[in-house]
């Protein structure tokens, strides 16, 4: 008993020393914070959290509440095949820095940080989480899929299964920036597939597709097509940040 008590005290002392040497820091700017996975006051105040009233299709903010299920003009003209986009924050400097530290800075703990703020967006009837996949070359060079890390964090907190390999990116895809909608769709056509052995995992499930940043929707649209063809009952997109054009705001 005395040995166990001494070990417990030693672990607490080591933990306290580690906290002093490596205090929690803001994932965006690096300022010391009170707890892990928290933004500092300045960065928190800069984040723009998204939520209703917004377009039920693409999460474009509405100035006034138009009623449940209301869609923007673009979604009315070309209704999405997915069951809606949900984004935690608008893409801005703080959201951008957080994603960059996760993707390129090796700060994989940022996945837990953003997942905590995305948790409120998961539909109550979610049955399966599927991350947007990276091509194997990108995965080998980076060492991880940031969307996969976020999906695992969400699945753990909500006790929802995660299928990391349900979608495969069959070929590298070009940078979509600067392309119009038709060119983006063409670039992403056939880029994803559901392996035959994973179709049973997808079939009949209400799937939530996890991504870090939603820009034009070309990537998630291509993923949605494959998931629905594999038999998914529905596909909802949940992401950390959504890029808003001036016209959207």
What tens-digit pLDDT sequence spans the chain (249 residues)? 444 454 444 445 444 444 445 788 999 998 998 888 889 999 999 999 999 999 999 999 999 999 888 999 999 999 999 999 999 999 999 999 999 999 888 889 999 999 999 999 999 999 999 999 998 888 888 889 999 999 999 999 999 999 999 999 987 775 666 666 677 777 777 789 999 999 999 999 999 999 999 988 889 999 999 999 999 999 999 999 999 976 555
Q: Is 112 found in the same domain as 34? A: no
Q: Is 10 found in the same domain as 99? A: no
Q: Is 20 found in the same domain as 65? A: no
Q: Is residue 172 part of a domain?
A: yes
Q: Is 99 found in the same domain as 7? A: no
CB-based contact 129:103 (threshold 8 Å):
no
Q: Is 71 found in the same domain as 173? A: yes
Q: Is residue 163 part of a domain?
A: yes
Q: Is residue 247 part of a domain?
A: no
Question: Which runs of E-coded beta strand occur in the chain?
Answer: 85-90, 128-131, 168-169, 192-193, 206-214, 234-242
Q: What is the CATH number of the domain that holds 172?
A: 3.40.50.2020
How many structural domains is the chain composed of?
2
CB-based contact 25:13 (threshold 8 Å):
no
Q: Which domain, by its residues, includes 90?
A: 47-242
Residue 106: CB partners within 8 Å, gap ≥ 6?
Answer: none
Q: Is 9 found in the same domain as 119? A: no
Q: Is 184 found in the same domain as 81? A: yes
């Amino acid at each position: 008993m005395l040995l166990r008590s001494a070990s417990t005290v030693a672990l607490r002392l080591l933990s306290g020393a580690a906290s002093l040497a490596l205090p929690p820091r803001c994932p965006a700017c690096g300022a010391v914070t009170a707890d892990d996975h928290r933004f500092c006051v300045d960065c928190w105040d800069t984040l723009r959290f998204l939520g209703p009233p917004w377009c039920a299709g693409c999460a474009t903010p509405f100035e006034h509440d138009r009623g449940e299920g209301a869609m923007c003009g673009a979604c009315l003209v070309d209704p999405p095949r997915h069951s809606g986009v949900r984004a935690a924050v608008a893409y801005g400097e703080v959201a951008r820095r957080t994603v960059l530290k996760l993707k390129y800075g090796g700060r994989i703990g940022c996945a837990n940080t953003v997942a905590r703020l995305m948790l409120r967006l998961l539909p109550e009837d979610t049955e399966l989480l599927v991350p947007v996949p990276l091509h194997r070359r990108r995965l080998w060079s980076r060492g991880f899929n940031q969307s996969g890390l976020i999906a695992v964090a969400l699945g753990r907190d909500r006790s929802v299964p995660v299928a990391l390999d349900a979608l495969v990116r069959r070929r590298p895809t070009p940078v979509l920036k600067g392309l119009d909608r038709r060119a983006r769709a063409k670039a992403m056509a056939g880029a994803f597939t559901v392996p035959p052995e994973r179709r049973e995992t997808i079939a009949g499930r209400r799937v939530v597709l996890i991504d870090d940043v939603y820009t034009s929707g070309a990537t998630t649209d291509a993923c949605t097509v494959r998931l629905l063809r594999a038999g998914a009952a529905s596909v909802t997109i949940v992401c950390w940040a959504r890029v808003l054009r001036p016209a959207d705001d």
